[in-house]
Structures are given as C-alpha cells and as structure tokens.
Amino acid sequence: MKEFKVLGMGCSKCAKTVESIERIAAELGTDIQIEKIEDIQQIIGFGVMSTPAVVLNNLVVHTGSIPHREQIEQWLKS
C-alpha cells in the first residue's frame, strides 16, 4: 500500500490534490493511505516551502502546484 501525505494549510489547491490522488487511485484499483497535514511545523519538517506538496512513503515527490494526472499515475504504478 502506498502512503501519501498532502501538505498544505487548507487551501483549495491542497483539497484538489487530495481529491485527485484519491480519485485516480480508485480508478486504477490501487490501495492507498492518504493523510492531509496542515500543521506548519510538520510541513516545515519536510523542508517544504511551497504548497501543496505531496509526500510518498516519506519522500517529498512534488511541491508548489496540483500534480498532473500523469504524475499521480506514475506514483501509483511505481
């Protein structure tokens, strides 16, 4: 199972990132665990300065925008 964390302060882009990952995982039949982190200290702890950010299995894989579908699919298939 892939473990995702979406880092952000509750903006609409952060919510859209969570929705996109959940929707695409469901379409592909991939089991995921997803957690939304809004605590600034935890976000800074990942070294992230621009949100939304995506963490996959404790590795920051994306920052600063809503990831494209192709990126999400690649994460889910890797």
| pLDDT tens string 47-57 | 999 999 999 99
The SS3 call for residue 29 is coil
Q: Which residues have C-beta within 8 Å of that of residue 30, sequence separation ≥ 6?
A: 2, 76, 77
Asked about 11 being catalytic, the answer comes back as: yes
For a pLDDT cut of 90, what percent of the chain falls above it?
96
Catalytic residue among 3, 9, 11, 74: 11
Catalytic residue among 7, 14, 53, 54: 14
| pLDDT tens string 1-22 | 999 999 999 899 999 999 999 9
CB of 6 closer than 8 Å to CB of 16: no
